[in-house]
DNA sequence: ATTGTCTGCCCC
DNA sequence: ATTCTGC
DNA sequence: GCAGAATGGGCAGACAAT
């Protein structure tokens, strides 16, 4: 598939408002893609080059892309910046600048116009090469490389490629719609969405799923299940205003303290569990990244599925002691004061989010992991098991014989059963008194709906700064130019003085 | 070395 | 993370 | 109610500039 064909689909998608229509268009695009292209097509549609947990970023955004455009079209940073402020979208800036670029039109988009059309895989490879540039001089190489790429593209492709690194594709759909489209491609309806979503939830690599689906239809993905080493998309919580609504919606439920730390998914991988599929190259990479070879590997993933194992040496160390083959746990990690053992505010905990000097900061700000869910144990997935049973298994895991885990570093989240709004409020008041962020209220019968935000879990938080008062007297000091939809209005946000 | 600028599907 | 919008 | 777009505050990483 040529890049022109691809971007003509993007153009038609951006003009489509109905998600159902988008699904049909996407299905056609996916069906026209070869199985060698379809993974790259998926990543590009979502404004990326690889799945999140690969950790490959452009390290380019608005400022860099303005330089790219200036360089490619013989303009300058001031002029491009000025047009960008008017239009609010670098893609539109490119569309405007391209026709009057000072280099001859025959040179701009030359190959595209002279019977040597650029393939989408070629463009993808160039983008990847730019993203992978690092070290001294890499900023310059990225900017020069991208400007060369732009010059080789037809106007429409240039418009969309520029939007990718700045994260401004804004096509109006995302991963879930793409899964619908895969189903539509095969069946002409959304009947396979559940199957595809299930595969995606336990193996959050949409390109891999599209490819497997394309090659072997349903059979290619149906075997995918929760696998230690591959992150599971975390369940998220909804919000409700009152305790009454919560009890009405969830019935008798379970309350846990809401901790203001990092969401942490712990994977324990037995060395006996060899990786079977060679397709999971990321997994192999992660295995190599593991601290050192031992009988037990521990990998940790963030809420956004980044591999953040390096941030949590003390938690990794504790879980290595656990007498278990393999397991996946969900929980929250929060910093504490080593003297008083009290929890620290998020601003302190966040200092653990770093790559270098972890052992130094770990002395100052040790972390404690509160496990609240068990998603898989010794190869058996618990995603479809009701919460109260998962919780029972989790407790059993912590009571196992063998080396005891240090409760200062790894412990299990406390629970209280609540069946009335009064009891819920009492628990909430107690949480505030003890300095927690509030409580999490969870439905006891609910399965773990990976990746979804629903009323299986509800957060009961005290009112934040935004709710201190309903009104506030302000003085308008200025405004910011809006982007995307807000660019037409001219104002994206006001700067005010209280 | 130190300081400045830009970036992050960042973390919340 | 929150808030808003279209469907 | 879902999915997606557009916002914020604050922190550390990666280079560039000095």
Residue closest to D1, CA→C1'? A454
Q: Where is average pLDDT lowest: A129-143, A264-278, A403-417, A474-488? A: A474-488
Q: Which of residues 210-239 of A touch strand C (CB under 7 A)?
A: 236, 239
Half-sphere exposure of A223 (CA within 13 A, CB side): 7
CA of A238 to C1' of C4 (A): 16
- Write out the residue limits of the CATH 3.30.470.30 domain(s) in chain A: 236-460
Cα–Cα distance, A289 to A492 (Å, whole number): 43
* Alpha-carbon distances of A173 from A213, A401, A476, rounded to whole Å: 20, 49, 35
Of A258, A296, A442, A461, the catalytic one is A258
Q: What confidence score (pLDDT) does residue A112 get?
A: 47
Q: Which of residues 335-394 of A touch strand B (CB under 7 A)?
A: 346, 350, 353
- In this prediction the pTM is 0.85
Q: In the structure encoding, which two tokens stand for residue A327, read together?
A: 């397991």
Q: In the structure encoding, which two tokens stand for residue A43, read together?
A: 């990543």
The b/e string for A10-21 (b: 16+ C-beta within 10 A; e otherwise) is beebbebeeeee
Q: Average pLDDT of A450-477?
A: 66
Q: What confidence score (pLDDT) does residue A315 get?
A: 97
Q: Which of residues 439-458 of A touch strand D (CB under 7 A)?
A: 452-454
Q: What confidence score (pLDDT) does residue A478 get?
A: 64
By C1' distance from the Cα of A239, the closest nucleotide is: C2
Q: Where is average pLDDT lowest: A87-101, A124-138, A142-156? A: A87-101
By C1' distance from the Cα of A493, the closest nucleotide is: D7
Residues 6+ apart with CB under 8 A from A212: A220, A221, A224, A279
Q: What confidence score (pLDDT) does residue A320 get?
A: 93
Q: What confidence score (pLDDT) does residue A88 get?
A: 85
Cα–Cα distance, A2 to A180 (Å, whole number): 24
Residues A431 and A448: beta-carbon distance below 8 Å? no
Q: Is any atom of strand D within 7 angstroms of residue A172's beta carbon?
A: yes
Q: Average pLDDT of A267-287?
A: 51
Residues A246 and A421: beta-carbon distance below 8 Å? yes
Q: pLDDT at residue A179 above 60?
A: yes
CA of A174 to C1' of D3 (A): 8
Q: Where is average pLDDT lowest: A148-152, A314-318, A323-327? A: A323-327
Catalytic residue check, A342: no
Half-sphere exposure of A125 (CA within 13 A, CB side): 7
Q: Where is average pLDDT lowest: A118-127, A154-163, A269-278? A: A269-278
Q: Confidence class of residue A197 from pLDDT cuts 50, 70 and 90?
A: confident
Q: Average pLDDT of A302-313?
A: 93
Q: pLDDT at residue A293 above 60?
A: no
CA of A123 to C1' of B7 (A): 23
Residues A90 and A66: beta-carbon distance below 8 Å? yes
Question: Residues of chain A with pLDDT > 70: what percent?
Answer: 83
Q: pLDDT at residue A471 above 50?
A: no
Unique residue bearing structure tokens 């509160």 = A370
* Alpha-carbon distances of A42 from A4, A39, A153, A181, A208, rounded to whole Å: 16, 5, 20, 11, 9
Q: Where is average pLDDT lowest: A5-19, A52-66, A73-87, A111-125? A: A111-125
Q: Average pLDDT of A42-52?
A: 90
CA of A274 to C1' of D1 (A): 42
Tens digits of per-residue pLDDT, A26-38?
Answer: 999 999 999 999 9
Contacts 24+ apart (CB under 8 A), A484-490: A484/A88, A484/A89, A484/A168, A484/A170, A486/A88, A487/A87, A487/A88, A487/A89, A488/A88
Residue A305's closest CA among A328, A324, A326?
Answer: A328
Q: Where is average pLDDT lowest: A23-37, A122-136, A450-464? A: A450-464
**Which DSSP string corresponds to A429-497?**
HHHHHTT-SEEEEEETT----TT-EEEEEEEEE---GGGS-S----EEEEEE---GGGGTTS-SEEEEE
Q: Which nucleotides of D are covered by protein (CB under 7 A)?
A: 1-8, 10-16
Unique residue bearing structure tokens 């360089």 = A71
Q: pLDDT at residue A287 above 70?
A: no
Cα–Cα distance, A304 to A57 (Å, whole number): 14
CATH for the stretch A236-460? 3.30.470.30
Residues 6+ apart with CB under 8 A from A148: A72
By C1' distance from the Cα of A19, the closest nucleotide is: C7
Residues 6+ apart with CB under 8 A from A421: A242, A243, A244, A246, A247
CA of A14 to C1' of C5 (A): 17
Q: In the structure encoding, which two tokens stand for residue A198, read together?
A: 């299930």
Q: What confidence score (pLDDT) does residue A395 get?
A: 96
Q: In the structure encoding, which two tokens stand for residue A62, read together?
A: 């608005």
Q: pLDDT at residue A205 above 90?
A: no
Q: Where is average pLDDT lowest: A72-86, A97-111, A322-336? A: A97-111
CA of A379 to C1' of B6 (A): 44
Q: Is any atom of strand D within 7 angstroms of residue A480's beta carbon?
A: yes
CA of A466 to C1' of C1 (A): 12
Q: What confidence score (pLDDT) does residue A292 get?
A: 43
Q: Where is average pLDDT lowest: A89-93, A139-143, A378-382, A400-404? A: A400-404
Q: What confidence score (pLDDT) does residue A477 get?
A: 64
Q: pLDDT at residue A181 above 90?
A: yes
Cα–Cα distance, A221 to A202 (Å, whole number): 11
Q: pLDDT at residue A396 above 70?
A: yes
Q: Is any atom of strand C within 7 angstroms of residue A461's beta carbon?
A: yes
Q: Average pLDDT of A205-218?
A: 86
Count the helix, strand and coil residues of chain A and give each as a percent rounded to the nearest 5: 45, 15, 40
Biggest alpha carbon–alpha carbon distance for chain A: 76
Q: Is any atom of strand C within 7 angstroms of residue A17's beta carbon?
A: yes
């Amino acid at each position: 598939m040529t890049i022109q064909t691809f971007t003509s689909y993007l153009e038609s998608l951006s003009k489509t408002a109905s998600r159902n229509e988008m699904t049909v268009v996407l299905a056609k695009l996916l069906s026209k893609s070869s199985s060698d292209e379809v993974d790259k097509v998926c990543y590009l549609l979502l404004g990326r080059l690889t799945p999140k947990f690969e950790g490959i970023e452009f390290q380019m955004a608005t400022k860099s892309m303005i330089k790219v455009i200036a360089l490619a079209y013989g303009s300058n940073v001031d002029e491009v910046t000025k047009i960008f402020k008017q239009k609010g979208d670098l893609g539109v800036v490119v569309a405007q600048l391209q026709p009057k670029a000072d280099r001859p039109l025959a040179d701009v988009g030359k190959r595209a116009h002279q019977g040597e059309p650029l393939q989408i895989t070629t463009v993808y490879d160039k983008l990847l090469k730019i993203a992978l540039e690092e070290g001294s001089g890499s900023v310059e190489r990225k900017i020069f490389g991208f400007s060369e790429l732009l010059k080789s593209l037809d106007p429409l492709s240039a418009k969309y490629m520029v939007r990718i690194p700045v994260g401004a594709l804004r096509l109006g759909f995302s991963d879930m719609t793409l899964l619908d489209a895969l189903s539509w491609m095969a069946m002409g309806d959304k009947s396979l969405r559940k199957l595809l979503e299930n595969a995606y939830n336990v193996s959050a690599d949409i390109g891999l799923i599209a490819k497997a689906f394309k090659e072997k239809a349903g059979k290619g993905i149906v075997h995918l299940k929760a696998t230690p080493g591959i992150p599971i998309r975390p369940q998220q919580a909804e919000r409700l205003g009152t305790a009454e609504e919560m009890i009405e919606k969830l019935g008798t439920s379970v309350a846990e303290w809401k901790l203001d730390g990092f969401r942490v998914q712990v994977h324990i991988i037995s060395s006996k569990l060899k990786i079977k599929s060679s397709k999971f190259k990321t997994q192999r990479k992660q295995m190599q990244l593991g601290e050192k070879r031992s009988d037990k590997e521990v990998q940790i993933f963030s809420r956004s599925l980044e591999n953040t194992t390096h941030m949590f040496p003390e938690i990794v160390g504790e879980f290595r002691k656990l007498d278990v083959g393999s397991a996946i746990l969900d929980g929250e990690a929060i910093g504490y004061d080593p003297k008083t053992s009290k929890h620290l505010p998020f601003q302190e905990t966040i200092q653990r989010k770093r790559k270098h000097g972890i052992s130094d900061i770990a002395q100052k700000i040790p972390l404690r992991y509160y496990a609240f869910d068990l998603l898989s144990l010794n190869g058996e997935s618990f995603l479809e098991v009701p919460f109260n049973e998962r919780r029972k298994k989790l407790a059993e895991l912590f009571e196992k014989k063998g080396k005891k885990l240090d409760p200062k570093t790894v412990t299990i989240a406390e629970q209280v059963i609540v069946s009335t709004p009064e009891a819920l409020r009492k628990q909430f008041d107690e949480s505030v008194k003890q300095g927690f962020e509030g409580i999490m209220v969870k439905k006891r019968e609910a399965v773990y709906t990976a990746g979804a935000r629903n009323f299986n879990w509800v957060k009961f938080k005290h009112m934040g700064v935004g709710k201190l008062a309903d009104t506030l007297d302000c003085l308008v000091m200025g405004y910011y130019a809006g982007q995307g939809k807000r660019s037409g209005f001219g104002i994206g946000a006001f700067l005010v003085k209280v």
